[in-house]
Amino acid sequence: MAGDRFLLQEALEGVAARLAPVNRHFKAGIAVDGRAGGFLKDTAALWHVASFDDGERLDAGDGGYDLAVSVLSLHGMNDLPGALVQIRRALKPDGLFVAALFGGATLTELRDAFAAGELETLGGISPRVAPFADVRELGALLQRAGFALPVADVERTTVLYRDFGTLVRDLRLLGEGNALAERRRTLSRRTLQAALAHYAAKHAEPDGRLRATFDIVYLTGWVPHESQQQPLKPGSAKARLAEALGTVEHKAGDKAKPR
């Protein structure tokens, strides 16, 4: 793994860490974007590489997999809820899905710099950096797609770049160019200079290195199965919470008096 693709390595290790506590050896895994199969080859007996075509249809063959993994690709989908549904359908009941994707405040400094540069030179803003979903939104999408026991968590990495060109090179190596259809197709030298000046003024260390934030969101969900832990029905508890906490219970609308 090349040193300048360290974010991909970090995401792969993060996915592996979330698979480690699962006490199961999977028979058939699907590497949704092709990046995880080699790194996680010992996790499943067989791996199938699948991808989304231009119409965002997943080439998953006949399905029947018990593990699906995606690494740093799903944030680029136009229809992420639909993509998650297709992945769930490719899995057997009680199959596991684990993904890593950019979200949250990823590239917030770059977004701010381009916005400031365009406002100064053009009087308006175009979407130079694609939007990224919040970790809570992504967790809700797992539930919406029909996954059980959904978990979404985020790990933030702040990278210090010696110059803007190094940041751009890393993004290109990851395939993270701007895919937004509504973006301006050209970037004038004047606008770029204004953006770089803002970046250096607002998002740089005292030694001149530029900060870049990357939030990697990890998603974990299971295809529903009767063997999985189920939430208790309301009112089925055998003990009151107030007793466990050693407090006095008050009915709704009652005001607790100071003691």
CATH number where 20 lies: 3.40.50.150
**Res 129: pLDDT:** 81
Query: Residue 157 domain-assigned?
Result: yes
Residue found by looking up tokens 């990697």 in the block: 216
Mean pLDDT of 39-63: 89
Contacts of 209 (CB under 8 A, 6+ apart): 160, 161, 162
Query: What tokens appear for 211 in the block?
Result: 């900060």
Query: Residue 234 domain-assigned?
Result: no
**Res 9: pLDDT:** 92
Query: Residue 252 domain-assigned?
Result: no
Query: Residue 26 domain-assigned?
Result: yes
Q: What is the DSSP letter of 141?
A: H
Domain total for the chain?
Answer: 1
What is the C-alpha separation between 144 and 42, in angstroms, rounded? Answer: 31
Domain that holds residue 172: 3-225
Burial class from Cβ neighbours inside 10 Å (0-12, 13-18, 19+) for residue 140 reads middle
Read off the pLDDT of residues 149-187 as tens digits, 9 standing for 90 and up.
Answer: 999 999 999 999 999 999 999 988 887 765 434 455 577
**Res 185: pLDDT:** 59
pLDDT band at 51 (very low <50, low <70, confident <90, very high): very high
Most confident of 54-63, 100-109, 171-180: 100-109
The gap between the terminal CA atoms of the chain, to the nearest Å, is 63
Read off the pLDDT of residues 210-248 as tens digits, 9 standing for 90 and up.
Answer: 999 999 999 999 999 777 766 556 565 566 656 766 666
What three-state secondary structure class fits 90?
A: coil
What is the C-alpha separation between 179 and 195, in angstroms, rounded? Answer: 20
Q: For residue 4, is pLDDT > 60?
A: no
What is the C-alpha separation between 90 and 133, in angstroms, rounded? Answer: 24
Asked if residue 43 lies in contact with residue 26, where contact means CB atoms within 8 angstroms, the answer is yes
Q: For residue 250, is pLDDT > 70?
A: no
pTM listed for this prediction? 0.83
**Res 241: pLDDT:** 59
Query: Residue 243 domain-assigned?
Result: no
What is the C-alpha separation between 74 and 81, in angstroms, rounded? Answer: 10
Closest CA to 170 of 1, 3, 5, 2: 5
Q: Which residues pair with 47 in a beta bridge?
A: 29
pLDDT band at 2 (very low <50, low <70, confident <90, very high): very low
Query: Residue 118 domain-assigned?
Result: yes
Query: Residue 230 domain-assigned?
Result: no
What is the C-alpha separation between 173 and 231, in angstroms, rounded? Answer: 44
What three-state secondary structure class fits 25?
A: coil
Query: Residue 74 domain-assigned?
Result: yes
Distance of CA 197 to the CA centre of its chain: 30
Sign of the CA dihedral running 136, 141, 143, 149? negative
